[in-house]
Structure 1
Amino acid sequence: MSKLKTITMEWTGDSLILVDQRYLPLEETYVTCKNYKEVAVAIKDMIVRGAPAIGASAAFGYVLGVKEFINTENFDEKMKEVKDTLANTRPTAVNLFWALDRMEKKLNEIKNEENLIELIEKEALDIAYEDIEANKAMGRFGGELLNDGDTVLTHCNAGALATVDYGTALGVIRGARELGKDIKVYADETRPYLQGARLTVWELYKDGFDVTLISDNMAGWVMKQGKINAVVVGADRIAANGDVANKIGTYSVALLAKEHGIPFYVAAPLSTIDLNTPTGNEIPIEERSHKEVRYCHKSKMVPEEIKVYNPAFDVTPNELVTAIITEKGVVRPPYSENLKKLFEK
């Protein structure tokens, strides 16, 4: 019997089973990772995606590394290799590094314990279950910000599939409904990987929400028509000053929201807030394969000689962010002061 099973992942004790998000919603297939290298590939190839889900997956990958090398003479050296391999998969989402640092710290604390494997496995499970509870808390806090009858625009996928379960931005929408509010949603396609079209719409439709899919370049016109009351997105890293790194296209949505007087909310757990990164200028932005832009559903759209630029994320300046929703409450400007206070509670 599994110790964790959600829409995104299942931990059996010996392997991590992930829904392959590259093929949703047309095909529901699963990838079984039996060692840390397979988890690293799953993260890098976006079989699993979304900052909190990446962090939890890396934690379970770390456990698989411990199990593989526990009886080797060079255990410490091997575990450094495990951590580095997992850390080098995707550079922007800070939850990845947060989870790995937490797992390494725990391992150092319990290194001489007889039940080391049981304790390190518990730490990974704690990370996963804490993520679910954090998302539900964000849903309660964020749900209060939305009004009955509101229509929300969201970008990318910050739902159950981007987390261990429930979701950050979609968790806010779910939280509002649990408060008895009727919420409609517009979802951007989120090119070039189409997380909004493939994942967000699928999640919300399955949950019975009134959801409408639009292409990214329709967002401004939909706002101009008065159809959007609020924007809610997730985040892959939030700098100490409140600058927000999120899926490419988020910055454009934030500018449009500002122009049309629409509140722009970011929902993210504390593990996404990086107080060691002063501003968004210091956040590393992952650039992904040209093939994601050059091809669409395996069909080539432009010849190989055409140059392609494919940053996976952009940074939204803090002055465009109305509020940041966390599991400890809603944070408003000045973010440099108020984000720091969250960690002092």
Structure 2
Amino acid sequence: MRYVTRTSALECEDFNSAKSRLIERAEKFGEMSYEARRIIAMLSQDFIFDGCTILVHGFSRVVLEVLKTAAQNKKLFRVFCTEGRPDRTGLRLSNKLAKLDVPMKLLIDSAVAYTMDEVDTVFVGADGVVESGGIINMMGTYQIALVAHSMNKPVYVAAESYKFARLYPLDQKDMAPALRPIDFGVPIPSKVEVETSARDYTPPHYLTLLFTDLGVLTPSVVSDELIQLYL
């Protein structure tokens, strides 16, 4: 939104000219986004090796591009894909991977610790990369990173630089909650409280590297990059 609306046409030109300028900038942003995913996919290839097992969580276009590029490069790997509750975005990713003939296993979210000993690397996307070097991502990312860290498995984040945000959450409750209805498949008594937050925060010390269109970064370098982006 910041990129698309950053134009004087909104204030200085007529409606049709302003509309055309917004569409033009939106299309340009789409091109930039695609190019960012391509760069990230290329940078990550040295970290995907033949015979490895990769755990992914939910649906991420950039993670999909990483795996798609690896498959096109004839790398031999398999993917463990979580279901991704509450909206089951993992099922969407698994359908995409199946079309690429990538060997894959679909997991319920609570099976992450059970299967982590078979995993070599974890790849996740991010809704936002914050000043601490941590990430905001779909619910469950934090607990996956905790399990991976406890078993010495690297956690890699694939995120475009436009997702870098000048935020510094201190804990899970330090974010505006993104609420969504959750279908448990059975009626829930009206007196039962349901957690509806859709995102969690993963602190930087549980992350290994971030693959971005600015390069491969450690979490500690994120603040420096944010300063450059916002100066």
Same fold, TM exceeding 0.5? yes
Mapped contact 2:83–2:90 kept (Cα < 8 A): yes
Alignment of structure 1 residues 292-331 onto 2, 5 Å? 292-293=182-183, 295-296=184-185, 300-331=186-217
Name which of 168, 172, 175 aligns with 1:278.
168
Q: Does 1:151 align with 2:53?
A: yes
Mapped contact 2:81–2:106 kept (Cα < 8 A): yes
Partner of 1:258: 149
Between the aligned partners of 2:222 and 2:160, the Cα distance in structure 1 is 17
Name which of 188, 196, 210 aligns with 2:82.
188
Alignment of structure 1 residues 322-341 onto 2, 5 Å? 322-340=208-226
What stretches of structure 2 of length at least 5 have no aligned partner?
A: none
Between the aligned partners of 1:261 and 1:269, the Cα distance in structure 2 is 26
Q: Which moved more, 1:312-321 or 1:234-243?
A: 234-243
Between the aligned partners of 2:90 and 2:196, the Cα distance in structure 1 is 17
Partner of 1:61: none
Between the aligned partners of 1:132 and 1:172, the Cα distance in structure 2 is 12
Tell me how far 1:109 sits from its aligned partner: 6.8
Alignment of structure 1 residues 28-39 onto 2, 5 Å? none
Alignment of structure 1 residues 110-259 onto 2, 5 Å? 111-112=12-13, 115-158=17-60, 167-197=61-91, 199-224=92-117, 227-259=118-150
Between the aligned partners of 1:277 and 1:155, the Cα distance in structure 2 is 23
Closer/same/farther in 2, CA of residues 302 and 144 from structure 1, 3 Å limit:
same
Q: Which amino acid aligns with 1:273?
A: F
Mapped contact 2:133–2:223 kept (Cα < 8 A): no
Tell me how far 1:341 sits from its aligned partner: 6.8
Count of equivalent residues: 227
- TM-score after normalising by structure 2: 0.89
Mapped contact 2:78–2:103 kept (Cα < 8 A): yes
Mapped contact 2:98–2:104 kept (Cα < 8 A): yes
Mapped contact 2:134–2:219 kept (Cα < 8 A): no
Mapped contact 1:242–1:279 kept (Cα < 8 A): no
Mapped contact 2:139–2:197 kept (Cα < 8 A): yes
Mapped contact 2:131–2:222 kept (Cα < 8 A): yes
Alignment of structure 1 residues 98-117 onto 2, 5 Å? 100-108=1-9, 111-112=12-13, 115-117=17-19
Q: Percent identity at matched positions?
A: 23
What stretches of structure 1 of length at least 5 have no aligned partner?
A: 1-99, 159-166
Mapped contact 1:244–1:280 kept (Cα < 8 A): no
Q: Which amino acid aligns with 1:179?
A: N
Tell me how far 1:229 sits from its aligned partner: 0.7
- TM-score after normalising by structure 1: 0.61
Partner of 1:29: none
Q: Secondary structure at the match of 2:6?
A: helix
1:95-131 CA-partner distances (Å, limit 9, x unpaired): xxxxx22222225477337844333211111111211
Closer/same/farther in 2, CA of residues 285 and 142 from structure 1, 3 Å limit:
farther
Closer/same/farther in 2, CA of residues 110 and 143 from structure 1, 3 Å limit:
farther
Mapped contact 1:277–1:283 kept (Cα < 8 A): no
Closer/same/farther in 2, CA of residues 115 and 286 from structure 1, 3 Å limit:
closer
Closer/same/farther in 2, CA of residues 342 and 257 from structure 1, 3 Å limit:
farther
Mapped contact 2:210–2:219 kept (Cα < 8 A): no
Q: Which amino acid aligns with 2:213?
A: E
Tell me how far 1:190 sits from its aligned partner: 1.4
Tell me how far 1:283 sits from its aligned partner: 3.5
Closer/same/farther in 2, CA of residues 101 and 336 from structure 1, 3 Å limit:
closer
1:265-324 CA-partner distances (Å, limit 9, x unpaired): 1111011111x21345453231223xx14x33xxx2433332211210111000000011
Which structure has the higher relative contact order (CA within 8 Å, separation 6+)? 2
Q: Which amino acid aligns with 1:287?
A: L
Mapped contact 1:240–1:278 kept (Cα < 8 A): yes
Q: Secondary structure at the match of 1:343?
A: helix
Q: Secondary structure at the match of 1:144?
A: helix
